[in-house]
């Protein structure tokens, strides 16, 4: 089955691994993808900030891209501890994960802040992977669509994005790192909902072509069923991206 949109399989290494481990993992992933030479899917890895350049130097950029796990919206200044879009790009990265639920939970990031980060990323030639998703209490109380609608509309309003310079990742918070993933049908339902939201924010052409990834306990044993869904265009993978044999199997999904 041919997917309408080119898939993106992204690995978020979070705050794990050493420099040497990142290099070995990045090389293993790059070697695998280079041999496969996929035409229907892209691959991206997002290591911790100190290892961005090590990852960039360890992959073949024709087959594997590198992204940051975060960025700050100012280009420079007295912002101790922050990293600007220009710095991320200067390291050789092409993507940046923005709004991951862990950033929202532990660092209290709001949609207003995330809108600034998305704008800064796009303005500086980076592709944001904007994360949205509800908590378990929201889903149990039938508020999951309301939560995601707010996250999408408030962060993306007034941004003149295209389908090729923004990626959205739906990651239900209750599925991240828990071993419990949304069913393919639950994920598909939310992905279609998000696609319709994008149509209202921008237009139908952009909504039909923008890539919407699923994240939340993605593993080799569930990637195939997820990718069979029409509106699931890839995956944002956490724990399983830290092991080459698991992540390469996810990259090599079969539908």
171 is catalytic: yes
Which of 111, 134, 171, 188 is labelled catalytic? 171
- Per-residue tokens: 238: 């956490």
Q: Which residues of 185-200 are buried (b: 16+ CB within 10 A; e: fewer)?
A: ebbbbbbebbbebbee
Beta bridge partners of 169: 131, 213
Is residue 20 part of the annotated active site? The answer reads no
Q: At 211, is the secondary structure helix, strand, or coil?
A: strand
Q: Please, which residues have CB within 8 angstroms of residue 175's CB and are 6 or more apart in sequence? A: 181, 182, 215, 216, 217
Question: Contact, 118 vs 111, CB < 8 A?
Answer: no
Q: Quick one: three-class SS letters along 41-58?
A: EEEEEECCHHHHHHHHHH
Beta strand 234-237 pairing with 127-132: unpaired
CA terminus-to-terminus distance, the chain: 6
Question: 100, 102, 109, 191: which is the annotated catalytic residue?
Answer: 100
CB 149 within 8 A of CB 109: no
Q: How far apart are CA 229 and CA 255, in angstroms?
A: 9
Write phi, then psi, for 241 (nearest 5 degrees): -85, -10
DSSP 66: E
Active site members: 100, 171
């Amino acid at each position: 089955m041919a997917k309408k949109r080119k898939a993106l399989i992204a690995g978020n290494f979070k705050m794990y691994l050493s420099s040497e481990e990142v290099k070995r993992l990045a090389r293993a992933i790059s070697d695998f993808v280079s041999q496969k030479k996929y035409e229907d899917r892209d691959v991206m890895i997002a290591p911790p900030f100190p290892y961005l350049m090590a990852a960039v130097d360890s992959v073949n950029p024709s087959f594997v891209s590198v992204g940051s796990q975060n960025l700050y919206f100012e280009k420079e200044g007295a912002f101790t501890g922050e990293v600007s879009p220009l710095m991320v790009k200067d390291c050789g990265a092409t993507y940046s994960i923005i709004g991951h639920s862990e950033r929202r939970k532990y660092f209290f990031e709001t949609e207003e802040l995330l809108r600034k980060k998305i704008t800064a990323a796009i303005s500086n030639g980076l592709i944001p992977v904007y994360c949205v998703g509800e908590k378990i209490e929201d889903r149990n109380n039938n508020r999951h669509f309301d939560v995601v609608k707010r996250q999408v509309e408030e962060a993306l309003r007034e941004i003149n994005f295209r389908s090729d310079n923004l990626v959205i990742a739906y990651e239900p918070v209750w599925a991240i790192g828990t071993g419990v993933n949304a069913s393919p049908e639950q994920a598909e339902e939310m992905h279609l909902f998000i696609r319709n939201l994008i149509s209202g924010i921008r237009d139908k052409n952009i909504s039909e072509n923008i890539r919407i990834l699923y994240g939340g306990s993605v593993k080799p044993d569930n990637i195939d069923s997820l990718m069979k869904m029409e509106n699931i265009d890839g995956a944002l993978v956490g724990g399983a991206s830290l092991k080459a044999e698991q992540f390469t199997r996810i990259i090599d999904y079969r539908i």
